[in-house]
Amino acid sequence: MLGNGFTRKKVGSLTLGEKLQKIRAEYRVDLADVARETGVRREYLEYLERGEYAKLPADVYIRGFLRSYARFLGVDPKALVRLYERERSIAKNLGKEPEKALSATAKPSRKFSFFVVTPKVMIGGVVAVCVFGIAFYLYREYRTFVSEPYLVLLEPSNGQTVSSDESMVVGKTDRDAKLFLNDQPVFVDESGEFHERVRLQPGVNTVTVKVVNRFEKERVETVSVLADYDVPENVPASLPESPHVPKLILSTIEKKPVSILVRSDGRELYQGDLVAGATKEFECEKSCTVDSTSGAGTLAIWDGGESKPLSGKSGTVIGIEFSLAPEKQE
């Protein structure tokens, strides 16, 4: 019992320093480990645990030390900072700690790292992006060089049965590759897709698609297609001969695909692209008309005659007509 009538009682709460020591002891970690992991000098950690705040730098740095220490111990940083501020305020009110001005030359012991965008950093980033891009391009070129070309055959499927004398061949490959259907070149569009009709004989037909990339690497896909359709019986010898059916054969000498439209007596026979080296054959009636994006580059053979260009023009021609000779007409 004190003379003023109050009874002295022991306060059970821990100080900031005692709490730090207790938690660190529970984890069995010494101050050297804490200093190494947090970047705070060991003597500053000792001052914190002993409550000797006057020996530490300014408040702003002490709060930073406490936050780092709290994160390392796995406790709430805000709780430790509040406890420090309360103890610091009590010490100042009791006059036990002199007011300490923040020195302009005071330097924190902990090394803070900030990412600052400087011209050097920007140049380094650009160089890194360029190096990565070049490396990726070379890797892709290497993969293209050592591996087979890409080829997916969507139609027809292997073993498919059709009831007509033709089938559509559809698929996808590399857009800069050369494609051949039964050894005939086929046009590939900018997206790498292709589609072409192929004639079928009654029974089992073999459809072979070959693709060659710019490194001369090849890939071949082969499928079997069963053509199941009725074939007209042989015409008896006593019957008159069939009328003459003129044929028109088109090819091109252009390096780029040539678009053509073929009609016979007003009926459309074909509309599509013709690539260099490919030929198209059409059975006409008495006449055929052709539209082409390159008159001089599109060659035509009409009814077994000589191969001649559609026109002397190098540009688009429309309505070039081929008619059956009078002596061959009925």
Give the helix ranges, DSSP H, for the chain.
Answer: 16-27, 31-38, 42-50, 59-73, 77-93, 119-146
Which of these, 251, 232, 135, lies nearest to 184 by C-alpha position? 251
- Residues 218, 265 within the same domain: no
- Domain membership of residue 142 (yes or no) is no
- In Å, the largest CA–CA distance within the chain is 149
Mean pLDDT, rounded, for 10-36: 80
pTM for the model: 0.37
- The CATH number of residue 65's host domain is 1.10.260.40
Joined tokens for residue 234:
């042989």
- Residues 262, 304 within the same domain: yes
- Of 78, 93, 108, which one is at a domain's C-terminal end? 93
- Residues 28, 74 within the same domain: yes
Q: Give residue 116's Cα distance to chain centre.
A: 32
| Structure confidence by residue, pLDDT tens digits, 213-253 | 888 888 999 999 999 988 776 645 555 566 777 888 888 88
Q: Return the pLDDT at 2.
A: 37
| Structure confidence by residue, pLDDT tens digits, 168-198 | 999 999 888 888 989 888 888 888 899 898 8
- Domain membership of residue 204 (yes or no) is yes
- Residues 205, 273 within the same domain: no
| Ranges 114-128, 151-165, 269-283: which has the least confidence | 114-128
- Domain membership of residue 106 (yes or no) is no
- The CATH number of residue 172's host domain is 2.60.40.10
| Structural element, H or E, at residue 53 | none
- Residues 226, 250 within the same domain: no
The label of the residue with tokens 């009409």 reads 302
- Residues 248, 326 within the same domain: yes
More confident residue, 142 or 159: 159
Q: Rounded distance, CA 198 to CA 227, Å?
A: 12
| Structure confidence by residue, pLDDT tens digits, 274-309 | 887 778 888 888 788 889 988 888 888 888 777 788
- Domain membership of residue 104 (yes or no) is no
- Residues 178, 251 within the same domain: no
Which of these, 200, 201, 220, 225, lies nearest to 209 by C-alpha position? 220
Question: For residue 206, which amino acid is it?
Answer: T
- Residues 328, 248 within the same domain: yes
- Of 54, 72, 93, which one is at a domain's C-terminal end? 93
Q: Across the chain, what does the average pLDDT equal? A: 79
- Residues 212, 290 within the same domain: no
Please answer whether residues 257 and 263 qualify as being in contact, where contact means their C-beta atoms are separated by less than 8 angstroms.
no
The label of the residue with tokens 């559809």 reads 170
Count of domains in the chain?
3
- Domain membership of residue 185 (yes or no) is yes
- Domain membership of residue 6 (yes or no) is no
The burial class, CB within 10 Å (0-12 / 13-18 / 19+), for 167 is buried
Please answer whether residues 261 and 294 qualify as being in contact, where contact means their C-beta atoms are separated by less than 8 angstroms.
no
Joined tokens for residue 217:
């690497």
Cα–Cα distances in angstroms (integers) from residue 302 to residues 134, 156, 262, 320, in the given order: 53, 32, 13, 12
Question: How many other C-beta atoms lie within 10 A of the C-beta of residue 170?
Answer: 14
- Residues 251, 324 within the same domain: yes
- Residues 223, 153 within the same domain: yes
Phi, psi of 257 (to 5 degrees): -60, 145
- Residues 182, 206 within the same domain: yes
- Domain membership of residue 297 (yes or no) is yes
- Of 62, 77, 93, which one is at a domain's C-terminal end? 93
- Domain membership of residue 10 (yes or no) is no
Q: Which domain holds residue 177?
A: 149-230
